[in-house]
C-alpha cells in the first residue's frame, strides 16, 4: 500500500488528500457563522488603529523588550502606556 502524499502540516496535523477532501466536504455543507471566530486583530479603540513606526537605538529597544517581558505584555502596549502617560502630563 502506498504511503499517503502529504502537503505539509497545519497545527501539527499532516495535510493529506484525505484531510483536504474532508475539509472540502465540510466547507461545501456550509458553516455556522455564529461559531466562526472574528478575523483580524481586536480594535484598540473606537476606530481602526493607525501604525506609527519609530526607530529606537539598541539600548532603548533592549530596555523596551525587558520591560515588556517583566510586565508580561507586548512592546507595543508598553509604548502605548508610556505615550499616554507622557501626553497626559503635558
- The answer for residues whose C-beta is within 8 angstroms of residue 5's C-beta and 6 or more apart is 16, 17
Residue 43 lies in a domain: no
Closest to 81 measured CA to CA, from 64, 57, 66, 58 = 64
In a domain, 75, yes or no: yes
Nearest Cα neighbor of 55 from 42, 46, 64 is 64
What's the confidence (pLDDT) of residue 1?
Answer: 64
Structural domain for 21, as ranges: 6-31
Q: What is the DSSP letter of 28?
A: H
Query: What is the full per-residue pLDDT of the chain (90 aa) written as tens digits?
Result: 677 788 888 888 889 999 999 999 988 998 888 887 777 777 777 877 888 999 999 999 999 999 999 999 999 999 999 999 999 997
| The total number of structural domains that make up the chain | 2
pTM: 0.53
> What residues contact residue 75 under an 8 Å CB cut-off, 6+ apart?
64, 65, 68
User: Does residue 62 fall inside a structural domain?
Assistant: yes
Amino acid at each position: 500500500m502506498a504511503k499517503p502524499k502529504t502537503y505539509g502540516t497545519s497545527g501539527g496535523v499532516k495535510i493529506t488528500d484525505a484531510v483536504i477532501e474532508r475539509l472540502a466536504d465540510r466547507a461545501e455543507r456550509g458553516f455556522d457563522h455564529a461559531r466562526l471566530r472574528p478575523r483580524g486583530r481586536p480594535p484598540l479603540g473606537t476606530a481602526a488603529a493607525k501604525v506609527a513606526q519609530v526607530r529606537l537605538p539598541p539600548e532603548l529597544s533592549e530596555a523596551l523588550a525587558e520591560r515588556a517581558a517583566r510586565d508580561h505584555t507586548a512592546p507595543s502596549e508598553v509604548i502605548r502606556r508610556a505615550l499616554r502617560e507622557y501626553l497626559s502630563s503635558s
